[in-house]
Amino acid sequence: MEEESAKLHLSVDCTVFGFDGNRLQVLLIRRIGEFGGLEFHDMKLPGDLVRGVEELDDTARRVLAELTGLRNIPLVQFHAFGSADRTRNPKDVHWVEYAHQAHVKRIVTIAYFALVKIGKSIIHDMEGTEAVWIPVDELPSLAFDHDKIIAVALDYLRTFASMDPSILYDLLPRKFTVTQLRNLYEVVFGSKLDPANFYKKMTQMPYLTALDEYEQGVSHRAARFYRFDKNKYNKSRL
């Protein structure tokens, strides 16, 4: 039993979503090149092993900063993935053993969740890896069980957003139109919404402030820009 646990490892993976005005995207790490004698050309979630006495939340922050350059992003733990056959693919095991000089048998990972404005700048070039946005409906095959993790994260996003829709504003740019907001709702919840009713409902909200700016260069009536006011939102929830 001691032998078994000696090969037990703990990692953290971050599932970061963005929204381009049209589709949901996930932030993935592409690895290309030769590592320890094997050729890699695939994608994975940003993640790493937890260090000695490092707190899980700290690992998540570190991983995201190191691999994508994103800092000060609220990260929330949402699920642990511990199936023994996560390490079914020898290539995934090789990758970890190469990076950490450790014999790896089983890796339990704690998955974290975050939402960011897709405009934030991302690190693109590292030694052999780069961070890229990929639409969730066009995912390639991924390392480990990262496809499952993303599926659970999407579910978590829907659940979370249905309880507190204000998190959706983390996905939008600072200035946005009501139509962009509606598109986001439709993408996240997978349903069509009546534009007129949605418009009235939203512009009534005390925490949406209308700006004196309008869309440019659209071949129809230009939409007004709005801004989300977090302070007013928090006050409106008492």
Interface residues with DNA (CB under 7 A)? 177-179, 194-197, 199-201, 203, 214, 216-224
- For residue 156, the minimal CB distance to a second copy (Å) is 12
Complex with a second copy: residue 6 or 38, whichever CB lies closer: 6
Which residue intervals of the chain are DSSP H helices? 2-6, 56-68, 90-100, 146-163, 178-189, 195-204, 230-235
Q: How far is the CB of 160 from DNA (least distance, A)?
A: 18
Q: Of the two residues 1 and 196, which places its CB atom closer to DNA in the complex?
A: 196
Give, in degrees to the nearest 5, the angle at Cα 167 between 11 and 28: 40
CB neighbour list of residue 101: distance below 8 Å, 6 or more residues apart: none
Torsion angle defined by CA atoms of residues 189, 195, 197 and 198, in that order, rounded to the nearest 10 degrees: 50
Of 4 and 34, nearer to a second copy (C-beta) is 4
Cα–Cα dist 109/106, whole Å: 10
CA distances 88 to 13, 92, 144, 175, Å, are 18, 8, 8, 45
Report the alpha-carbon distance of residue 187 to residue 208 in Å, rounded. Answer: 20
Q: Which residue, 81 or 226, has its beta carbon nearer to DNA?
A: 226
| Distance of closest approach, residue 102 Cβ to a second copy, in angstroms | 6
Partner interacting with residue 175 (select from a second copy, DNA, none; CB below 5-8 Å by kind): none
Choosing among DNA, a second copy, none, which partner's interface includes residue 178 (Cβ < 5 to 8 Å by kind)? DNA
At how many degrees (to 10) do helices 178-189 and 146-163 cross? Answer: 120
- Select 83 or 159, whichever has its Cβ closest to DNA: 159
72 binds, among a second copy, DNA, none (CB under 5 to 8 A by kind): none
Smallest Cα–Cα separation from 12: which of 106, 115, 81, 114? 81
Q: Could you give the CA distance from residue 7 to residue 107 in angstroms, rounded to a whole number?
A: 8
Q: What does 65 bind: DNA, a second copy, none (CB cut-off 5 to 8 Å by kind)?
A: none
CB of 49 to a second copy, least distance (A): 8
- Rounded to a whole number of angstroms, the minimum distance from the CB of residue 71 to DNA is 33
The answer to whether 131 touches 67, Cβ cutoff 8 Å, is yes
Q: Which is nearer to DNA, 74 or 195 (CB)?
A: 195
User: Which residues are at the interface with a second copy (CB under 8 A)?
Assistant: 1-2, 4-6, 8-10, 49-56, 77, 79-80, 82-84, 100-102, 106, 108, 110, 159, 162-163
